[in-house]
Amino acid sequence: MVKVITDSTSDLPPDLAQRLGIIVIPVTLVIDGQPYRDGVDITREEFYTRLPQLKIVPTTAAPPSTDFEAVYRECGDVDIVSIHISSTFSGTLNVARVAAEASGRRVTLIDSRQASMALGWQAVAAAEVAARGGSVDQVVAAAASAQKRIHLWALLDTLEYLRRGGRANAVTAAIGGFLQIKPLIHVVDGAVTSLARIRTHSRGVDELVNTIEQLGPLERLAIIHTNCLDEARRLAQRLAHCLQPIASPAVIVDATAVVGTQVGPGTVGVAAVSAT
């Protein structure tokens, strides 16, 4: 038996995680000096509602190693595959490694090289194989296969939160705000790159749709948003034709606060797994 574990930056819908038996460990969000467990002490909706009014940029932290260790021990005498947010974005994987060694359990750690549902889809692929009785090697191979076919894009509504978080200099943010530039960014192998800077949100969504359509048939599709559910639903409708006929419908999720602190409200994104 193999147990799959991930962290809350995976953005997995609770019902999907429960159905596949995936354990999700919450990361820590610090707002005005007060720690909150992501999705436990504060909902994503509450976070994005408060974010624009906060004078101090919220910070995020990996779950305590004791949380990981407790979960690993509670799994009992089974093999564990623990898949986490890219090590370039967070120290979560290193914390999990320390906990795995302390627990004495058989834990295989995977750096997803991704975030949000681009991580979540890897956990899903692994858990599906585990549910069929697959070995550790087979479960790991399933996650690796998904990782190679994962694509993650996001259309930002503003550069302001990148500036506040130190990810964009003040000049760039000021120019972007003045020109109403909407950055379209791409996450590849743990690195964030800018695909385009678009003048209007509607044109940005069109560019995002065109980009996804170029991938060919999709095996899985998630629409990710930061407090713009209606926009996410419209995007899901526009991209429904990209899914394989046998694929499940797209899922719509609130983006993890780890992403939200950097991009702010009004961001919409796509995590897609191509069929080939």
Render pLDDT for 17-69 as a digit per residue (tens, 0 to 9).
Answer: 999 999 999 999 999 889 999 988 988 888 888 888 888 888 889 999 999 99
Q: Please state the rounded mean pLDDT for residues 158-167.
A: 68
At 196, is the pLDDT very low, low, confident or very high (cuts 50, 70, 90)? confident
Q: What secondary structure letter does DSSP report for 248?
A: P
pLDDT classification of 250: cutoffs 50, 70, 90: very high
Sequence ranges of the chain with CATH classification 3.30.1180.10? 150-274
For 25, the token pair is 């460990």
Range(s) for CATH 3.40.50.10170 in the chain? 2-27+62-148
Closest CA to 262 of 157, 179, 180: 157
Q: Is the pTM here over 0.75, yes or no?
A: yes
CATH code of the domain made up of 150-274: 3.30.1180.10
171 pLDDT higher than 50: no
Q: Which residue has the higher pLDDT, 21 or 180?
A: 21
d(CA 5, CA 62): 14
CATH architecture of 2-27+62-148: 3-Layer(aba) Sandwich (3.40)
Stronger pLDDT, 222 or 44, i.e. the higher one: 222
